[in-house]
Structure 1
Amino acid sequence: MPGYEQDLKTDPPCHPRACAIQDCLQRSGYQEDKCQKQIDALYECCNAFYQKNGDDASCVSCPKAPLLRLKMKQRGQTG
């Protein structure tokens, strides 16, 4: 979980990662494929959030835990 400790302490958790996606999308003309690095970073932060707080935890910046794991699996990220 290195690098995500600070993001987990923000309110809401992982919010800076979600903002980075929005900024990237605006800069790229909403071409999601150009923002995949930022999307992956959010997923990693959210995964760390659920590992720390349990799958029943809630975070407005993150998809629900089962959906997050499905998205990470589709992206080839380990969870």
Structure 2
Amino acid sequence: MSKARKDPCKPYACRIQACLSENNYQEDRCVEVLEQMRICCLKWHAESLCCSGIDLERSYLKKADNDKSTVTSKRF
């Protein structure tokens, strides 16, 4: 990626940091922005430095759904 071109996924990385900060770093409260970042990285992973820690195979929304069903099943 050239220095003149901005990182296409940087705005999503900033949104993740803001969401985590606003929610006491509870990842389950930021799954939507995490998923938006993953989608950006699916397209731009070769050009975005922000994508280095993103698991492209993992859907963050599915994890949140699974976590909720686990919590629900534990209550009963």
Find the partner of 2:41 among 7, 21, 46.
46
Q: Which has the higher contact order (CA 8 A, sep 6+)?
A: 2
TM-score if structure 2 supplies the norm length? 0.62
TM-score normalized with structure 1 length: 0.60
For residue 62 of structure 1, what is the aligned residue in structure 2? 51
Structure 2 gap ranges (5+): 63-76
Residue 11 of structure 1 deviates from its aligned partner by 1.3
Moved over 4 A (4+): none
| Identical aligned residues as a percent | 33
- Matched length: 58
- Structure 1: gaps (5+ residues): 1-9, 51-56
RMSD (Å), alpha carbons = 2.4
